[in-house]
Chains A and B, each alone.
Chain A
Amino acid sequence: MASNPMDSSTLPTDDYETLISTTDVELLKRAWRNEKAAPEILQFETDLIQRIREQILLMDETVEEFTSSGIDPLTVSLYQMDLDRSQFLLRSYLRIRIQKIEKYMFHIESTDELWNRLSREEKNFARRCTDDLKRHLDETVLSKLPDNYQSVQKQSVISEDDDMVPKPQLDTFVVCRSKEYLTGIQLEDGPVDDRSKLFEMEPGVLYFICYKSIKALVESGKIDLV
């Protein structure tokens, strides 16, 4: 969000970013954008969401108190708008994750790494979804097929991998921005010693890049998706 050229000349971008991104709402906004832009589901922000929930509840009570204690309606409406904005972010964040879970539930369920990224509620939801869909597919189609074709995951018993399970496309291109100067990003699956394929990122500059190559950096919070 470091967009003001006046500021970027006096402060390095990363300092400026940390300076303005101290509120949890700002952090939630970052998490929301990353989640929206990433093709796969990211780690659930347990602590952040917990804090945001508490803040929203508290603010909701405050606004009610204001209304009943006759504080000027303009002030109340400003607090209400602030509350609405935070609630929108929270809802949208949770909703994007639910959409991803619905789309890739079998894949998430069978991959430990992804499964552990879900919150407790999301795990419950995913379990119910997969159970329902499995039962539905069994009852309507699979149980009527020959023995070799009854798996939800595989086309037939000779399939080597789970070829009936939708997976996120990790070679999607995303737009991203680094907070710091990064070097040695590997762009292709080739050998690491091939320097020509290593890529560097300047802080604050936007890049279109294959999600797969920067996946780890998004997960560690070094790169933000835009």
Chain B
Amino acid sequence: MKMLLKSSSFSSFLMAGQSVSALSLFSAEELEFIAEDETIEIIPNLRMEPLNLLCGDFGPFFPQIPTQVPLWLAVALKKRGKCTIRPPEWMAVEKLTQVLEAERDSQEMSEQLPFHYVEISRLLFDLARDDIPDVYMVRSLIEDIRDVRFHKVETDLEAFNGRTVAVKIKNLSAMEVNIVRPFIGRALQAFYKHDSPELIPDPERVSDRRQQVATTAPRRQLRR
């Protein structure tokens, strides 16, 4: 969580009420656990028989022959010096520069990064930095992208109002969802509650059927 908290005012306003971790559905570790099932390409430097694991079959492994494995397996081999990890295409400087531009140019969230881009890149920065070309540049680009995206989510949130019953959140990443979830969840729930006629005792409305039909008009009118 640490990495995320320093990023913007956004996370700090979420902190105002209760701690983020207490409200988030998934802990940072659980999100990482989920992301570790994403596949990634490795270049082994050992020979190893195929692995018939519960989560799928992988290998056989031959030196210098690239193969696809889940991230956790790649990291385990990497830690023991048994492979190099080929960073995913989206982690190239050129690609990330494009993404950053796209993110800056439009209020829409770009769809060019994978759902778990924050977790995947963090794992690779921590454990396979020597396999990432231009690692400093890549890292700072990803941080910038994350900040720009958070800022956009923040502005999107301002557009919420009492009429909001469902929100489409196109291309939000796993970490972003987890961070905004407690806030959006509570906000929408509050709107929903204040909007439910059965929860607001209003004798006038109950006694007059026609009035009830009119309640589909903007909610503000109810406040008269």
Given A3-B114, A3-B115, A25-B54, also A210-B192 (CB < 8 A): yes
CA of A3 to CA of B188, assembled, Å: 27
Q: A26-B37, A78-B73, A187-B165 are in contact. List 13 more A-B contacts (CB 8 A).
A: A3-B115, A4-B114, A26-B55, A82-B51, A82-B55, A188-B165, A196-B216, A205-B168, A207-B166, A207-B167, A209-B166, A213-B166, A226-B177
Residues of B within 8 A of A188 (CB): 165
A174–B188 Cα distance when bound, in Å, is: 10
B76 contacts A206, C-beta separation under 8 Å: no
Q: Which residues of B contact A175 (CB under 8 A)?
A: 169, 177, 181
Q: Measured between alpha carbons, how far is A24 from B165 in the docked complex, in Å?
A: 35
Asked whether B185 lies within 8 Å of A208 as measured between CB atoms, the reply is yes
Neighbouring A residues of B49 by C-beta, 8 Å: 75
Give the size category of B's interface with A. 35 or more
**What size tier do the contact residues of chain A reach?**
35 or more
Interface residues of chain B, those whose CB is within 8 Å of chain A, are: 25-26, 33-34, 36-38, 48-49, 51, 53-56, 72-73, 76-77, 80, 82, 89-90, 111-116, 165-170, 172, 174, 177, 181, 184-185, 188-189, 192-193, 216
A207 to B36, CA, bound (A): 24
Name the residue of chain B whose CB is nearest to the CB of A6.
B89
Q: Report how far A26 CA is from B89 CA in the complex, Å.
A: 25
A208 close to B167 (CB less than 8 A):
yes
Q: A173's contact among B36, B116, B189, by CB below 8 Å, is which?
A: B189
B111 touches A5 (CB 8 A): yes
Cα A7 to Cα B26 in complex, Å, equals: 26
21 contacts between A and B (CB under 8 A): A1-B37, A2-B115, A3-B38, A25-B55, A56-B54, A72-B48, A75-B49, A75-B51, A78-B51, A78-B77, A85-B72, A173-B189, A194-B216, A207-B166, A207-B167, A207-B169, A208-B166, A208-B167, A210-B165, A210-B166, A226-B174
